[in-house]
Amino acid sequence: MPAKDIYHDWVKASLIQAGWTVSHDPLSIRVGKIGIHVDLGLENLIGAEKAQRKIAIEIKRFMNVSKITDFYAAFGQYLCYKVALAREDPDRTLYLAVPAPIYHTFFKEILIQDVLNEYPIKMLIYNLSSQEIQSWID
């Protein structure tokens, strides 16, 4: 299994505090001979009918000098995980967790905006200074 990202425990604790229950840490999926490990699988009950919502979170930190290299890796990983989840756990929605400073700077660059407009991804934006989930982008 891969090493956890630096902010894994913090994002996990923030989601638990927000009412989510961790069902998998990590969420392991096998498609054919390939195994993948999404950082977190979570569930919570929503609405009057208490319907269960299931999500998967891949936590990224964008710590390399080259942010575009980090983006290539995160975006490619997100796409592979999304396809695997669609096949093996279709009721689970995938989110990419991104630090707020990266989202508010690098993710606003023209090329990144064009990529995300062409290939939208769901994101969870986490704030390092306040240690809170800042926003969900569906």
Residue 69 scores a pLDDT above 70:
yes
Share of the chain above pLDDT 90, in %: 83
Confidence of residue 48 (pLDDT cuts 50, 70, 90): low
Predicted pLDDT at 2: 56
Which residues contact residue 77 at a Cβ distance below 8 angstroms, ignoring those fewer than 6 apart?
58
Peptide bond connecting 26 to the previous residue in cis, omega within 30 degrees of 0: yes
Dist CA 112 CA 63 (whole Å): 17
- List of domains in the chain: 8-137 (3.40.1350.10)
Q: pLDDT tens, 87-134?
A: 999 999 999 999 999 999 999 999 999 999 999 999 999 998 888 899
67-106 burial, b at 16+ Cβ within 10 Å, e below that, comes to beebbeebbeebeebbebbeeebeebebbbbbbbebbeeb
Predicted pLDDT at 129: 82
